[in-house]
Structure 1
Amino acid sequence: MTSESLLPQGAPARRTVVAAVGATGLALGLGACGSDEPPSSGAGAADHGGSGGAAAGSGGVLARTADIPEGGGKVFAAQGVVVTQPAKGRFEAFSSTCTHQGCAVNRVADGVISCPCHRSEFSAADGSVKKGPATRPLPAKKISVAGDEIRLA
């Protein structure tokens, strides 16, 4: 006689319960990679100020130059990119995925791109590591700036 045959009729099998508990644990663990902190100035991924963020795939308008503060930047989570303006009129773009353990960076301020998971910091000018635990820079992304439009290339 198996342990499954001792269960009341209609009760889920032990395997089903164990699988459900495991899936719940995995979902909770993955959710811990995010941040409870609200986006700071210049880091809101959802608010593109009417810049057409929904159609900002390759070649679409990602942002307007006025959306990117000088000395700061903005994280575009859906596109996996962070755009910075390290000096007036100079725009740079990098992957928004931290090179330490793959968390998404969530903030750009005072020339620094920050990851909330383990507090790695990267230069807004060139993506280099300013503070670990990350040891590799954020990879550069290609953008084009025409007039007041910033597009992913």
Structure 2
Amino acid sequence: MLEINLVNNTYSKEIIDLVLNIQQKEFNVPITIEDQPDLMQIEDFYFANGGSFWGAFIDGELVGTIALVKFDEKAAAIRKMFVKKEFRGKEYGIAQKLLEILIAYCQKNGIDEVYLGTVSILEAALRFYERNHFIRIEKEQLPSKFPLMTADNVFCFLNLKL
């Protein structure tokens, strides 16, 4: 049974295990925990500025995450959107449910612009975002306050004002 809940620093170890396994082992993205200090300070990095962090659980096991970094009054960035390989796809619909919760949070909290950065190797993720009305944009089109991650080379935008 799928449950999606807010997660905080008490889940850091499980979140780090999930994220690093997917980044490093599955997709060979050259990124380490040192490159992602936010994962060890979830409350300060995400919640303090009006963002959030959710975890998807099946029978108590963390199987997916999504986070939102609010970086401007009406703008935020999606971070840490990951679902364990064996729980991906339409059968579970975990990524879709996580994204819907994040978008509902944005709408409720006056966030009109949602951005994200990812890596080109994550083709299925890019198709997922495009199916959900995100459009690809050039790095130069990102707002100046967008929190860049060094590995990211593809950027997307969703306008919630429409």
Whether TM-score is above 0.5 comes out as no
Query: Which is richer in helix?
Result: 2
TM bin, normalised by shorter chain, reads: under 0.3
What is the TM-score with the length of structure 1 in the denominator? Answer: 0.27
Larger Rg: 1
